[in-house]
Amino acid sequence: DQQVKQNSPSLSVQEGRISILNCDYTNSMFDYFLWYKKYPAEGPTFLISISSIKDKNEDGRFTVFLNKSAKHLSLHIVPSQPGDSAVYFCAASEGNSGNTPLVFGKGTRLSVIA
């Protein structure tokens, strides 16, 4: 049973436009959410996070939106750049203490076309 779901395995966007990556979760105990970016044969790189007390967090071109009632979050990248092409993983945890692991979705492969 997958607790974090990314239903779109891939997404193609033109350079300069907005990329929207979606993520749904089923565990209502999750209260900390993160997005990671991953290139092939490399470990994931942290992008942005949000705790359940917020519904939006912005960092430069990246914005994460959280809808707790719908158990849904999304990552917006604007404007999209070719260097953003990678696999994006949504992750969630119960709390953010030192011994709390993350549960990952299957990832969405974003291709930004020049």
Partner 1 sequence: GAVVSQHPSWVICKSGTSVKIECRSLDFQATTMFWYRQFPKQSLMLMATSNEGSKATYEQGVEKDKFLINHASLTLSTLTVTSAHPEDSSFYICSAREYPRNSPLHFGNGTRLTVT
Closest CB to partner 1 among 18 and 46?
A: 46
**Residue span 43-82 as binding mask against partner 1, x where in contact by CB under 8 A, dash where not:** xxxx--x---------------------------------
Quick one: how far is CA 80 from the chain centroid? 15
Give the span between the Cα atoms of 1 and 56, in whole angstroms. Answer: 28
Identify residue 98 by its one-letter amino acid code: G
Give the span between the Cα atoms of 109 and 85, in whole angstroms. Answer: 7
Residue 89 interacts with partner 1 (CB under 8 A)?
A: yes
Residues in touch with partner 1 (CB under 8 A) = 2, 4, 9, 34, 36, 41-46, 49, 89, 91, 96-107
